[in-house]
């Protein structure tokens, strides 16, 4: 847990909960390893010192979740929970994920990279965000094109590559995929604004509803598309796919509402506010069982 990314505090919270959950299961010795940005050599030494057989990465952000740590673990040749480096790298790059989604027939809002000169080939309103962050870090909604320049300047001070995505007004949901099977959807309703970092982790007034009422066919469409992008990226064990259901359509109009995939998270949070554990609990899978299931999957891969 830990890492050098902006989401380090979330990682420490998630990692602590995973360690506690695993200690509730039978037959495991659990060691907590807080890292910053280790070399392959120093990471191997730390794992050897604790006699580690399987690593459970609980890091969030480009370094810990986007393939860098996963490549190191593959080089060390130690089994680990979650997606491998290729899937992690592809999922962390939001533009690449969208390209893979379109090829797989998964609907995703139009988007473009922000040009070197700040040009954006989309009509407002749109969302500007880094291509390689999670937890809504650096996400900005732009309704007036005159505001875009200041937003781009602010974000480029910390992020090299930015993208713009068509803003979709509607309901925000997420569908977690566990071992290739979609779990029940969870709807997110922030008390105000949109579901940003503060609403995710710092506020207690964000409302979460597991298996909310949805227009006919929407849940099954989201579930099937979530599994399709999980498979297309080559994800393993657990991932979370974020969705928007566009306003308009449904029972009142007789028009099937549009559903739009936003991004894929290959190491979902495990905090008290996190969505994948909520969805798993709705299926009768508590956090210790969820975490142990993922460890067992990594062990089975190692045996194969």
Last residue within a domain, chosen from 130, 147, 166: 166
> Cβ distance 191 to 165 under 8 Å?
no
Domain-located, residue 34 = yes
List the catalytic residues: 7, 135, 201, 240, 242, 263, 265, 269
Assigned token pair, 304: 């194969």
Q: How many domains does the chain have?
A: 3
Strands (E), 57-104: none
Range of the domain at 201: 91-107+168-282
CA nearest neighbour of 16 among 6, 31, 38, 37: 31
One domain for residues 48 and 142: no
One domain for residues 98 and 178: yes
> Cβ distance 127 to 167 under 8 Å?
yes
Domain-located, residue 300 = no
Q: How far is CA 53 from the centre of its chain?
A: 26
One domain for residues 266 and 183: yes
Spans in the chain with pLDDT lower than 50? 195, 253-254
Which helix or strand (DSSP H or E) is residue 244 part of? strand 238-246
pTM, to two decimals: 0.91
One domain for residues 38 and 52: yes
Domain-located, residue 62 = yes
One domain for residues 64 and 161: no
pLDDT of residue 257: 78
Tell me the pLDDT tens digit for each residue of 209-248: 999 999 999 999 999 999 999 999 999 999 999 999 998 7
In terms of DSSP H, where are the helices of 148-270?
Answer: 148-156, 197, 218-233
One domain for residues 222 and 212: yes
pLDDT of residue 110: 96
One domain for residues 147 and 273: no
CATH of the domain at 185: 3.30.470.20
Domain-located, residue 175 = yes
One domain for residues 115 and 221: no
Domain-located, residue 68 = yes
Q: What are phi and psi of 209, to 5 degrees?
A: -125, 115
CATH of the domain at 128: 3.30.1490.20
Last residue within a domain, chosen from 151, 166, 181: 166
- Alpha-carbon distance of 299 to 303, in angstroms, equals 6
One domain for residues 47 and 148: no
pLDDT of residue 45: 98
One domain for residues 68 and 117: no
One domain for residues 99 and 248: yes
Domain-located, residue 139 = yes
Last residue within a domain, chosen from 131, 166, 201: 166
Domain-located, residue 151 = yes
- Alpha-carbon distance of 189 to 202, in angstroms, equals 14
Tell me the pLDDT tens digit for each residue of 257-277: 799 999 999 999 999 889 999
CATH of the domain at 59: 3.40.50.20
pLDDT of residue 206: 85
One domain for residues 98 and 190: yes
CA nearest neighbour of 62 among 102, 4, 103, 17: 4
Domain-located, residue 141 = yes
């Amino acid at each position: 847990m830990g890492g050098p990314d902006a989401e380090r505090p979330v990682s420490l919270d998630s990692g602590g909960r995973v360690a506690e959950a695993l200690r509730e299961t039978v037959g495991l010795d659990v060691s907590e390893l807080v890292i910053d940005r280790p070399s392959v050599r120093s990471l191997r030494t730390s794992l050897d010192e604790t006699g580690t057989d399987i690593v459970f990465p609980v890091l969030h952000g480009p370094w810990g979740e986007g393939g860098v740590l996963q490549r190191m673990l593959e080089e060390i040749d130690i089994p680990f929970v979650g997606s491998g480096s290729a899937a992690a790298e592809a999922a962390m790059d939001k533009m690449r994920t969208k390209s893979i989604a379109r090829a797989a027939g998964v609907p995703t809002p139009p988007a473009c990279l922000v040009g070197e000169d700040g040009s954006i080939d989309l009509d407002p309103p749109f969302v500007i965000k880094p291509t390689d962050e999670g937890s809504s870090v650096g996400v900005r909604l732009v309704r007036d094109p005159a505001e875009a320049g200041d937003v781009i300047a602010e974000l480029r001070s910390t992020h090299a590559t930015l993208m713009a995505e068509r803003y979709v007004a509607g309901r925000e949901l997420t569908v977690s995929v566990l071992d290739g099977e979609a779990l029940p959807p969870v709807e997110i309703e922030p008390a105000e604004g949109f579901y940003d970092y503060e609403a995710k982790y710092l506020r207690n007034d964000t409302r979460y509803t597991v298996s909310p009422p949805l227009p006919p066919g929407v849940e099954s469409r989201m579930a099937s598309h979530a599994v399709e992008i999980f498979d297309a990226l080559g994800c393993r064990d657990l991932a979370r796919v974020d969705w928007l259901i566009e306003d308009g359509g449904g029972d009142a109009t007789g028009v099937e509402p549009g559903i739009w995939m936003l991004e894929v998270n290959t190491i979902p949070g495990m905090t008290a506010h996190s969505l994948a554990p909520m969805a798993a609990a709705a299926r009768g899978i508590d956090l210790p069982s969820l975490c142990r299931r993922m460890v067992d999957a990594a062990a089975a891969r190692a045996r194969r």
